[in-house]
């Protein structure tokens, strides 16, 4: 990505999230895309690049989606990194524009499943590893992240009540977001006393699978509505880090964090908010460590010393994140981006972070047996 690039996000859109739906995947993807186009004052005819991230799209792909949308495109990207893919799609869209392969890229992420569909998807994911792990009692994502959280607690003394501050802070923000599926009040006592799912993972550590889609438009910032452009400052992705390690207490973010901040010319202390991938609070905590907000093993104190709602000392996932909005499959990896853009355009409504000018977004995905394989991150800046 070129230094001082003037490429960024000029429009965003999202569907409502639904716990159960009879709608097709393409109806969600097209609705989110149209809303992003309307936001930017564009039409499908103005788009020559298309990036789609979806668990359920195959065997269809980005090219068949372009056909459904009536588009002729010069650049097509299909996310292959789970919920790290939407952030990676933006990075790759910027590269495509810089290299002349496209001028204006529509990035969409979405899925249309419910709780049952989620388990069916997981049952078919990475079959070789599933056949190895099932006889050993491996029970899917909740079991894996329970192992990671327990390991973090025993290695570093991380406390459950500190991790709970993530869920509680995000729920406070979600109460200002009518689009969030879970908006009821939550206290730290509610979190601690919630039903145990896979010790030490509790009910309020878990996301609610749902259906929905998110979308953004990436192009030259001179095409943005006045004062509404959001610059993509820099971004990186990393896959299968650390290799061959079961339940690691780190991810690919640690490999590029220093480059991310060197490119930007400022550090984590200068972020007005962060939008992290929150499939579980423990993973948001590990991202805080790997991305330099605190030293490895010191996240419990960092969490205890900060508050995480939109008006707190460390605004985190200011729309409520997946823990409160729901996890619409891979759309969860773009939910953080659309919320960041909303904040940087000053359109956060009752949850608007005061004077927000820059923020960090992170993605995470491809969770099989042992660890998540993919990590990504971008830094965004307001241009108003």
- Rounded average pLDDT over 116-121: 65
Residue 92 has pLDDT above 80, yes or no: yes
pLDDT for position 138: 63
Each residue's pLDDT tens digit, 194-214: 999 999 999 999 999 999 999
Over residues 13-23, the pLDDT tens digits come to: 999 999 999 99
Query: In the structure, what pLDDT confidence band is assigned to residue 322 with cuts at 50, 70 and 90?
Result: very high
Q: What is the mean pLDDT of residues 59-78?
A: 97
Sheet holding 372-382, edge to edge: 75-78, 49-53, 105-112, 211-220, 7-14, 230-239, 372-382, 358-367, 273-275
Residues of the chain above pLDDT 90, percent? 86
Q: How confident is the model at residue 115 (pLDDT cuts 50, 70, 90)?
A: low
pTM for the full predicted model:
0.95
CA angle 284, 290, 295 (to 5 degrees): 105
Average pLDDT score over residue span 296-311: 99
Structural domains in the chain? 7-119+211-223 (3.40.47.10), 138-205+232-382 (3.40.47.10)
Percent of residues, the chain, with pLDDT higher than 70: 92
pLDDT, tens digit, for every residue of 245-267? Answer: 888 999 999 999 999 999 999 99
Give the three-class secondary structure for 239.
strand
Confidence band for 131, pLDDT divided at 50, 70 and 90? low
């Amino acid at each position: 990505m070129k230094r001082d690039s003037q490429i960024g996000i000029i429009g965003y859109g999202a569907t409502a999230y639904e716990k159960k739906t009879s709608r097709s995947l393409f109806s969600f993807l097209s609705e989110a895309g149209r809303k992003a186009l309307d936001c930017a004052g564009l039409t499908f005819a103005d788009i020559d690049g298309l990036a789609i991230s979806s668990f359920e799209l195959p065997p269809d792909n980005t090219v068949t989606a372009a056909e459904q949308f009536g588009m002729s495109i010069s650049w097509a990207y299909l996310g292959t990194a789970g919920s790290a893919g939407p952030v990676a799609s933006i990075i790759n869209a910027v590269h495509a524009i810089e290299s002349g392969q496209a001028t204006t890229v529509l990035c969409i992420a979405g899925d249309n499943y419910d709780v049952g569909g989620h388990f069916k998807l997981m049952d078919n994911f990475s079959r070789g590893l599933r056949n190895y792990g099932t006889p050993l009692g491996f029970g899917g994502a909740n079991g894996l992240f329970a192992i990671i959280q327990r390991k973090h607690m025993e290695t570093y003394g991380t406390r459950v009540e500190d991790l709970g501050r993530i869920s509680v802070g995000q729920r406070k923000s979600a109460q200002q977001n009518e689009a969030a599926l879970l908006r009821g009040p939550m206290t730290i006592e509610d979190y601690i006393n919630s039903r145990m799912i896979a010790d030490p993972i509790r009910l309020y550590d878990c996301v609610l699978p749902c259906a929905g889609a998110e979308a953004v438009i990436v192009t030259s910032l001179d095409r943005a509505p006045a004062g509404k452009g959001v610059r993509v400052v820099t971004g990186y992705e990393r896959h299968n880090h650390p290799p061959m390690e079961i339940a690691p207490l780190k991810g690919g973010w640690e490999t590029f964090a220093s480059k991310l901040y060197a490119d930007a010319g400022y550090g984590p202390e200068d972020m007005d908010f962060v939008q992290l991938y929150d499939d579980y609070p423990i993973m948001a905590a590990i991202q805080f460590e790997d991305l330099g907000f605190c030293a490895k093993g010191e996240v419990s104190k960092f969490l205890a010393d900060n508050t995480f709602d939109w008006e707190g000392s460390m605004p985190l996932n200011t729309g409520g994140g997946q823990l409160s909005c729901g996890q619409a499959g891979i759309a969860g990896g773009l939910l953080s981006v659309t919320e960041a853009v909303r904040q940087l355009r000053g359109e956060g409504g009752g949850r608007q972070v005061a004077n927000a000018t820059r923020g960090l977004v992170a993605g995470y995905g491809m969770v099989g047996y042992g660890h998540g394989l993919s990590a990504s991150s971008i830094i965004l800046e307001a241009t108003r």
